[in-house]
């Protein structure tokens, strides 16, 4: 597998925010979001066999792993890696951009499905059939750049009854929109979603890699 980086850090997003995790960042992504903060993962990486990846993960002494990218499902071996980790009793999150079929992930995976909003420039790439594969343990993330993105996300939440299916996250693009605005909209509209702020960027800064 082509791996960009493997590191230990504090989980900055999802409902697991604040907890220590091992992050496995795969190389390659089929999308080009306007706000992408991991462009270095488009091409940079080194080939590693799954056994070596697991050895590296084991070395950190944690039992929680986040498989991210890039886009992890662009690699056909990702479900194999995830299954091996689950068999070793790891908690495994897979962050995916929603353009690939998430049903290939083994039972027990916690899917973090990123639904691309209009300002990303990639909302037309979403595979909406993925919604049918989600469970209550999974999470749906909307990354917001504007009020327009928020209103679109709200309409998708209503259309697909997402709050009945999975945990819903709203994430402002760092430095582009004030979190207080999104907080006020959520409260005004009485929607059952979680506002998240990419904690790792507030701790180490937005340009720091390997955190």
Q: What CATH number does residue 63 fall under? A: 3.20.20.70
Report the pLDDT value the prediction gives residue 137, as an integer from 0 to 100: 96
Q: How far apart are CA 49 and CA 30, in angstroms?
A: 22
Closest CA to 72 of 59, 55, 58, 85: 85
Q: Mapping DSSP to helix (H, G, I), strand (E, B) and coil, where does residue 183 land? A: helix
Angle at which helix 78-87 crosses helix 50-59, to 10 degrees, equals 40
Containing structural domain, residue 128: 2-204
Q: How far apart are CA 132 and CA 123, in angstroms?
A: 18
The answer to whether 154 and 189 are in contact (CB under 8 A) is yes
Please give the radius of gyration of the chain, using alpha carbons only, rounded to the nearest integer: 16
Considering the domain boundaries, does residue 151 fall inside one? yes
Q: Is 37 within any annotated ligand binding site? A: yes
Q: In this structure, what are the phi and psi dihedrals at residue 34, rounded to the nearest 5 degrees?
A: -60, -30
Q: Is 36 within any annotated ligand binding site? A: yes
Q: Is 38 within any annotated ligand binding site? A: yes
Can you spell out the DSSP letters for 119-159?
GGT-GGG--GGGGGG--TT-EEEEEESSHHHHHHHHHHHHH
Q: What is the DSSP letter of 61?
A: T
Within 10 angstroms of residue 187's Cβ, the number of other Cβ atoms is: 10
Q: How far apart are CA 132 and CA 128, in angstroms?
A: 8
Considering the domain boundaries, does residue 210 fall inside one? no
Considering the domain boundaries, does residue 60 fall inside one? yes
Considering the domain boundaries, does residue 182 fall inside one? yes
Instruction: Report the number of distinct structural domains present in the chain.
Output: 1
Considering the domain boundaries, does residue 54 fall inside one? yes
Q: Is 25 within any annotated ligand binding site? A: yes
Q: What is the pTM of this model?
A: 0.94
Considering the domain boundaries, does residue 80 fall inside one? yes
Q: Is 11 within any annotated ligand binding site? A: yes
Q: Is 150 within any annotated ligand binding site? A: no
Considering the domain boundaries, does residue 6 fall inside one? yes
Considering the domain boundaries, does residue 211 fall inside one? no
Q: Which residue has the tokens 């709203």?
A: 170
Q: Is 29 within any annotated ligand binding site? A: yes
Within 10 angstroms of residue 207's Cβ, the number of other Cβ atoms is: 7
The answer to whether 194 and 142 are in contact (CB under 8 A) is no
Q: How far apart are CA 137 and CA 166, in angstroms?
A: 6
Pairing state of beta strands 139-144 and 110-115?
A: parallel
Please list the pLDDT of the chain residue by residue as tens digits (211 residues).
999 999 999 999 999 999 999 999 999 999 999 999 999 999 999 999 999 999 999 999 999 999 999 999 999 999 999 999 999 999 999 999 999 999 999 999 999 999 999 999 999 999 999 999 999 999 999 999 999 999 999 999 999 999 999 999 999 999 999 999 999 999 999 999 999 998 888 888 888 888 7
Q: How far apart are CA 56 and CA 63, in angstroms?
A: 12
């Amino acid at each position: 597998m082509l791996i960009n980086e493997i590191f230990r850090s504090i989980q900055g997003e999802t409902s697991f925010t604040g907890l220590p995790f091992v992050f496995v960042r795969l190389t390659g992504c089929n999308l080009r979001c306007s706000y992408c903060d991991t462009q270095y993962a488009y091409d940079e990486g080194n080939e590693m066999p799954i056994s070596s990846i697991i050895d590296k993960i084991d070395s950190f002494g944690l039992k929680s792993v986040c498989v991210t990218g890039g886009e992890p499902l662009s690699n056909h071996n990702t479900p194999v890696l995830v299954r091996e980790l689950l068999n070793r009793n790891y908690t495994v999150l897979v962050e995916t951009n929603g353009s690939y079929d998430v049903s290939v992930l083994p039972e027990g995976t916690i899917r973090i499905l990123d639904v691309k909003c209009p300002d990303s420039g990639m909302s037309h790439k979403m595979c909406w059939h993925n919604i049918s594969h989600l469970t209550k343990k999974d999470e749906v993330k909307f990354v917001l750049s504007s009020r327009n993105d928020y209103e679109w996300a709200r309409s998708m939440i209503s259309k697909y009854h997402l709050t009945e299916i999975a945990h819903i996250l709203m994430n402002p693009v760092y430095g582009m929109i004030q979190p207080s605005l999104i907080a006020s909209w959520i409260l005004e509209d009485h929607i059952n979603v979680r506002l998240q702020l990419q904690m790792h960027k507030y701790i180490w800064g937005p340009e720091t890699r390997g955190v």
